[in-house]
Amino acid sequence: MKKIVLVCNGGMSTSMLAKRMNDESGGKYEVFAYGEQEYTEHLDGAVCILVGPQIRYLLPQIKQNVDVPVESIKPQIYGRMDAKAVLEVVEKLIGE
58-95: per-residue pLDDT in tens? 999 999 989 999 999 999 999 999 999 999 999 999 99
| E strand or H helix that includes residue 90 | helix 83-94
Q: Which is catalytic among the residues 8, 21, 50, 51?
A: 8
CATH code, domain with 75: 3.40.50.2300
What is the count of structural domains for the chain?
1
Kindly report the number of other CB atoms within 10 A of residue 3's CB atom: 16
- Is 94 inside a domain boundary? no
* Per-residue pLDDT at 96 exceeds 90: no
The residue range of the domain holding 36 is 2-89
Is-catalytic flag, 48?
no
- Is 95 inside a domain boundary? no
Give the predicted TM-score (pTM) of the model.
0.94
Average pLDDT in the chain: 94
List, as one string, the DSSP characters of 10-54: SSHHHHHHHHHHHHHHTTSEEEEEEETTTGGGG-TTEEEEEE-GG
